[in-house]
Amino acid sequence: MTSNSNTTSGKERDFFMMQTKRMEEIMELIQQKQYVDVQHLAAQLHVTPKTIRLDLERLEGMNLLQRVHGGAVISKQQPSSFPMEQSREKNQAEKARIAAKALTMLAPHDVIFMDDGSTSLALAKLLGGFPITVLTNDLQIVNELMYKPNVTLFVAGGCVKRDGNSCVIYGEDCIQFVKKYRVNKLFLGISTITPKDGLMIYYYGDRSTKRALMSTADRIICMIDSSKFGHTAFTAVAKVSEIDTIITDRGLSPQEAEQYRALGARVIYADD
């Protein structure tokens, strides 16, 4: 029984990974062309038109595209954080206040990992007033910190993913780099969060990197502006119970904040 169960579980995992990879390719194509055709996608991805229609149905449910006769077009109602270029330009005032709050949680000689994201970049702009060691996989953060003498900077190696204005290092080489170190605090970048689905991202290829980051940290902190709450994304990264602290703005109601506290996360507001 155990062997059959493990086999079934493995098959389900393989199916999910293949589906996720397909959906990533569909989204890359639709970002480039603004329209995709079912028959063309089926031929290019070596699956049936029925499989493609199911993928498009799921993507439409995420508000990432809109199905039309014979195919799909890019959605006009895409949620925040996809694509990355749009996310980095939104809610800048809230992100700056969240970053300022995060700064108060740091101490001289801390060793921290700054994952990719616009709020992490906002925090990087505030660093430099005291000695600190920063590890990061975000090249914009590298550019911000590399000339600050109080910051000892470690840069992850690996493949660079370009997404709009973002340049993020990910993949197996990055993971092997991460495993060499232990950090006091990880500022984990995510796309969306819900009590039920937890922390989610749009690019499945980043999941392994983020899980590796989590395994090296004493404390996991998420700087999440209120626009990211209550939405689902492509794939789950972690349960709410796996993180220590959420820093957010007053756009998240006290009632909603209590839902996350009940799951074990400390929720604090930027203006507390």
97 φ/ψ angles, rounded to the nearest 5 degrees: -70, -40
| pLDDT tens readout for residues 31-69 | 678 899 999 999 999 999 999 999 898 888 777 788 999
More confident position, 263 or 25: 263
| pLDDT tens readout for residues 102-133 | 999 999 999 999 999 999 999 999 999 999 99
Instruction: Give the pLDDT of residue 254.
Output: 96
136 neighbors 114 (Cβ within 8 angstroms): yes
Predicted confidence band of residue 101 (pLDDT cuts 50, 70, 90): very high
pLDDT greater than 50 at residue 82: no
156 neighbors 135 (Cβ within 8 angstroms): yes
Beta bridge partners of 220: 186
Count H helices and E strands in the chain, helices first: 10, 15
How far is C-alpha 127 from the geometric centre of its chain's CA atoms?
22
The residues, ordered by sequence, that sit 6+ positions from 175 with a Cβ below 8 Å of its Cβ are: 158, 208, 209, 212
């109602």: which residue's tokens?
77
206 neighbors 164 (Cβ within 8 angstroms): no
Mean per-residue pLDDT over the chain, rounded: 87
Instruction: Give the pLDDT of residue 10.
Output: 59
153 vs 134: CA distance, rounded Å: 5
More confident position, 85 or 152: 152
Predicted confidence band of residue 85 (pLDDT cuts 50, 70, 90): very low
Beta bridge partners of 192: 200
pLDDT greater than 80 at residue 199: yes
The percentage of residues in the chain with a pLDDT greater than 70, rounded to a whole number, is: 86
212 vs 174: CA distance, rounded Å: 9
115 vs 160: CA distance, rounded Å: 14
- pTM given for the model: 0.74
Predicted confidence band of residue 259 (pLDDT cuts 50, 70, 90): very high
Instruction: Give the pLDDT of residue 89.
Output: 52
Residue 5: exposure state from Cβ atoms within 10 A (0-12, 13-18, ≥19): exposed
Spatial CA neighbour of 225 closest among 193, 202, 200, 258: 193
What's the mean pLDDT in 59-81? 74
SS3 149: coil
**Preceding omega of 83 cis (within 30 degrees of 0):** yes
Predicted confidence band of residue 87 (pLDDT cuts 50, 70, 90): very low
| pLDDT tens readout for residues 210-244 | 999 999 999 999 999 999 999 888 789 999 999 99
pLDDT greater than 50 at residue 162: yes
